[in-house]
Amino acid sequence: DAGVTQSPTHLIKTRGQQVTLRCSPKSGHDTVSWYQQALGQGPQFIFQYYEEEERQRGNFPDRFSGHQFPNYSSELNVNALLLGDSALYLCASSSTPSLYEQYFGPGTRLTVT
Amino acid sequence: TQLLEQSPQFLSIQEGENLTVYCNSSSVFSSLQWYRQEPGEGPVLLVTVVTGGEVKKLKRLTFQFGDARKDSSLHITAAQPGDTGLYLCAGATMGAAGNKLTFGGGTRVLVKP
């Protein structure tokens, strides 16, 4: 049984560019949450998707957007990249939006130069 | 803004010693989770505590949720090198539209053989 998978593993982009990160949830899970983890810090909640809709959002600008597909996989899009967007982006899935038990993927390391 | 503060930020101990990590907030959470994260990987859920005053044991790890559901602690007995990692606490809040998880800054634990 595959756990949460994310792609790509690493990514290097230039300021002002746009990026799309992808996540496939654990089998049987229908809720996906995205987090940003800066070096040396704890993860920060970006948003949660359930039933193909954004259900809850953290303190992130509109440059951060997402999507959930009918097969429950999800994408995170970031526009107009800033140097400060460099971080590990984590996807987590759960079987309900309650977040009672989440499984995290290995993350995508984004570097903005 | 809900904040979770973890202390200490860094802990270095010898194999066989005990350690305690604290997680404090001024906010009430519906549940509190503890994770361990190793370099290059996503956080792995260790336990979820829900009821104020609740104590859960997982082998040599003991987790406690404060009576007021604002703070928690993680105690490791007879630490082993395999316990080395970044320990993260996270509080869950339920909203009408969805739920979100607020992470602490993490405690980096190093257990030396």
Dist. CA B75–CA A19, nearest whole Å: 41
Looking at beta carbons, which residues of chain A come within 8 Å of B39?
none
| Residue in A104, A29, A107, A103 with CA at minimum distance from that of residue A73 | A29
Neighbour count for residue A97 (Cβ, 10 Å): 21
Class of domain A5-108: mainly beta
Nearest to A31 by CA among A77, A79, A78, A66: A66
Locate tokens 């606490």: which residue?
A: B89
| A98 against A45, higher pLDDT | A45
For residue A4, the distance in angstroms to the closest alpha carbon of chain B comes to 10
Do β-strands A87-94 and A108-112 pair in parallel, antiparallel, or remain unpaired?
Answer: antiparallel
Whole-number Å distance between alpha carbons of A45 and B56? 26
Domain B5-112 falls under CATH 2.60.200.30: no
Condensed to tens digits (0 to 9), the pLDDT of residues A70-111 reads 999 999 999 999 999 999 999 999 988 777 788 999 999 999
Positive/negative CA dihedral, A101, B88, B42, A43: positive
Report pLDDT for B2: 61
- Which stretches in chain B have pLDDT values below 50? none
Q: What pLDDT sits at residue B103? A: 94
pLDDT attached to residue A40:
87
Strand B31-37 to B71-76 pairing:
unpaired
What integer pLDDT is reported at residue A15 of this predicted model? 98
Q: For residues B54 and B31, give the distance between their C-alpha atoms in angstroms, rounded to a whole number.
A: 11
Q: How many CB pairs under 8 A join A and B?
A: 71
Burial, A113: exposed, middle or buried (Cβ in 10 Å; 0-12, 13-18, 19+)?
Answer: exposed
Q: How far apart are CA B65 and CA A77, in angstroms?
A: 36
In angstroms, how far is CA A45 from the centroid of its own chain?
A: 9
Predicted local distance difference test score (pLDDT) of residue A68: 97
If you average pLDDT over every residue of chain A, what do you get? 94
pLDDT confidence of residue A45: 93
Chain A stretch 23-62, residues whose beta carbon is closer than 8 A to a beta carbon of chain B:
33, 35, 41-45, 48, 50, 55-59
CA distance B35 to B20: 14
DSSP B77: S
Q: Which of B45, B98, B102 sits opposite A102 (nearest CB)?
A: B45
Q: List the single residue in A58, A100, A103 with the smallest CB-CB distance to B31.
A: A100
pLDDT-derived band at A1 (thresholds 50, 70, 90) equals: low
> Domain ranges in chain A?
5-108
